[in-house]
Every structure is written in C-alpha cells, then in structure tokens.
Chain A
C-alpha cells in the first residue's frame, strides 16, 4: 500500500531516511517544473528545488501534520522562488528587452522530452516551437504572484483552499487573482485563442 505524504514525513521524523528518498522521488519533478516556470532557468530551478528538500529535511524534527504536505512543500518553494526573483530583479532590469534569449530561457531544455513526430516538416516544427514560445512568454509576463497562482492551479492541480494557504491570501482573493491572470493570458494569447476557437 502506498504511504501518504504525511505518513512518509512522520517516518522521516522518526529517523527513516528511506521515506525521505520516497518523498524526493515523488516531488522532485513537480517541484523542479514549478520552479522552472517561476524563475525561467533550469539551473536555478534545480538549486531552489534542492533548497526546498533540504529545508523539509531540516524541519523534520518539528514537523506536525497540521496541513497537507503539498501545501507546506509548495509554500516553501513559492517563498524561495519569490525571494529569488526579488534578488534577481535588478539584474533583469539591466537586460535589454531585445537581447537575444538564451537556449535555457527559450525552453531549450523542454525539447528533449517532446515526442518527435517523424513526419512533421521543419516548417511545422518551427510553427510548433513558436507557439510554445508564445505560451511561455505569456506566463512570464504575469506578475509573480499571479504566475504562482496559475502554475499551482493548472500544473499542480491544487485546490483553491490549498493555493490560498500557499500564497497567504483568502480564497476569494485567490479567485480574483486567478481571474485577473486569465484575463492577461487571454489578451496575450489572443491569436492562438482565436485560432483554437475556429
């Protein structure tokens, strides 16, 4: 039988290192992806994800299962991501908006995991890449808190109450935050949205 996250964490607290390994295997991919979409750098996302796991490990002695494990985990991750973005804001301001983006920032890391269509032409591939680039840029344009809300809602599929706790806001404030984020995305992705509705 699969042990719940809380049970695993309580086992880690009791000194079972193997349970920590199971939590690592369970959450490393969602965590790295969430952080990657937040900070737009794979290397930085992995560094931050490591830090999240270390903080979880360090806090094992004091762990009390008062909330869902994912709430706690993504709360640590969100705070680290927001702090990291704040720290790097000055550097970002110095970057020209027209400067060529690196392969990392353009989602070059995502390519190896896409299923290659052997029959797709080079042109179709370029169109597809352009489409994904547009979606990524639309997410990037969102204010940080809206971005975190969208990522937790769409990719982690957490419920509203959980996301509200992670972002330290009320459930109604979260719904308003998500509504505003989707309004921005609707405008940014208008060409693709219209294309999809035809």
Chain B
C-alpha cells in the first residue's frame, strides 16, 4: 500500500480531480485504510471550497485606457533594412560615393620610382669626388694642430 509520505504529492491532485486515473485507485485504497490521510483529504477539500468563495474583482474602466495609451506611446521598432527601405536611392548614392572615394584614394597614392641597379651604380660613381675631398680634409695639417679631444669623448676617433 502507498505510504503517507507518498500521499503528500498526490492528495491535492486527488481532491481537485486532477489525479491520473491510474493513481486514483492507489490513493483511494490508502484513504480507506488511513484515517489521518482521510481527514486531511476532507479538510483540503473544505479549504479548496473556501478559497472559491472569494469574489473576483473587475479592473477599473481606466485600466484599458491606460494600457492603450502606453502601447500608443511605445516607439515604433524598425530593423536595419526597414530603416533603409524608405530611402533606397539615398542608400545607393551613399554607397556609390563611398566606392568613388575609395577609388580616388587608391589612385592618388605616391608612386615610388624603381631605379635599376645600373643607374644606382652610376650615381655612386658621381659621388666619388666628394669622398676624395673627405680624405683631403682628414689629412689637412692645420687641423692636426688642434688640441686632442677629452678622454672618453670620441675615443674611437683617437685610436
């Protein structure tokens, strides 16, 4: 037979007629044998009837008016495409303008000239005279008479 503890989860469903037919027989068998659960079932039924005595209230007439007003005040939601839809020409023109700007930007980038290696060597040869001048200055006598630089400063040059 079903225990009183197991009855706890079924007793209310039995009282309000929501218990499955398959479980109903077991509950009735238990109630026939258990006075405490039988009393409880009867009292639960009374409680259920008492709760049914409370009357319903009717919402005030202003209720509907207020809900409608609040609904009317709600901002109209539109998705991205819906936002675009009323002005497809503007959207197309904006896209074209963007593409044109990108194209112009690409075209106006400075072009770095590529110098062939032969031309680079020729340019170096033109600078040889300047390098020779540097050697002349390095061996210039009056400059050698100048005081030696302070230690630690430009020591590499002294060596």
Chain A interface residues toward B at CB < 8 A: 17, 20-21, 24, 28-29, 32-33, 36-37, 42, 46, 49-50, 53-54, 57-58, 61, 109-110, 113-114, 131-132, 135-136, 139, 150, 153-155, 159-160, 172, 175-176, 178-179, 182, 185-186, 189, 192-193, 196-197
A36-B57 contact given A50-B63, A61-B77, A154-B48, CB 8 Å threshold? yes
> Does B58 have its Cβ within 8 Å of any Cβ on chain A?
yes
**Extra 18 A-B pairs, beta carbons < 8 Å, given A20-B71, A28-B63:** A21-B68, A28-B64, A32-B63, A37-B54, A50-B66, A54-B67, A54-B74, A132-B54, A160-B18, A175-B9, A175-B12, A175-B13, A182-B12, A186-B47, A189-B50, A193-B46, A193-B50, A196-B50
CB nearest to B75 among chain A residues:
A58
CB nearest to A136 among chain B residues:
B54
> Does B95 have its Cβ within 8 Å of any Cβ on chain A?
no
A81→B10 CA distance, assembly (Å): 28
The 8 Å CB contact of B60, one of A46, A114, A192, is A46
A135→B11 CA distance, assembly (Å): 21
A160-B50 contact given A33-B57, A50-B63, CB 8 Å threshold? no
CB nearest to A190 among chain B residues:
B43
A179→B11 CA distance, assembly (Å): 8
Q: Which residues of B contact A37 (CB under 8 A)?
A: 54
Are A49's CB and B71's CB within 8 A? Answer: no
The 8 Å CB contact of B50, one of A110, A153, A192, is A192
Instruction: Give the one of A32, A61, A182 with max B CB within 10 A.
Output: A182
> Does B104 have its Cβ within 8 Å of any Cβ on chain A?
no
A24-B48 contact given A113-B55, A172-B9, CB 8 Å threshold? no
Q: Which residues of A contact B67 (CB under 8 A)?
A: 24, 28, 50, 53-54
Are A42's CB and B51's CB within 8 A? Answer: no
B-side binding surface: helix, strand, loop or mixed?
helix
Are B12's CB and A178's CB within 8 A? Answer: yes
Q: Which residues of B contact A192 (CB under 8 A)?
A: 46, 50
Are A50's CB and B70's CB within 8 A? Answer: yes
Q: Which residues of A contact B64 (CB under 8 A)?
A: 24, 28
> Does B49 have its Cβ within 8 Å of any Cβ on chain A?
yes
> Does B52 have its Cβ within 8 Å of any Cβ on chain A?
yes
A42→B62 CA distance, assembly (Å): 13
A186-B44 contact given A32-B59, A136-B54, CB 8 Å threshold? yes
The 8 Å CB contact of B9, one of A21, A33, A150, A179, is A179
> Does B53 have its Cβ within 8 Å of any Cβ on chain A?
yes
CB nearest to A53 among chain B residues:
B67
> Does B8 have its Cβ within 8 Å of any Cβ on chain A?
yes
Least Cβ–Cβ distance between B37 and chain A, in angstroms: 12
A154-B51 contact given A54-B74, A179-B11, CB 8 Å threshold? yes
Least Cβ–Cβ distance between B57 and chain A, in angstroms: 5
CB nearest to B72 among chain A residues:
A17
A114-B55 contact given A135-B50, A160-B18, CB 8 Å threshold? yes
A153→B40 CA distance, assembly (Å): 19
Q: Which residues of B contact A33 (CB under 8 A)?
A: 56-57
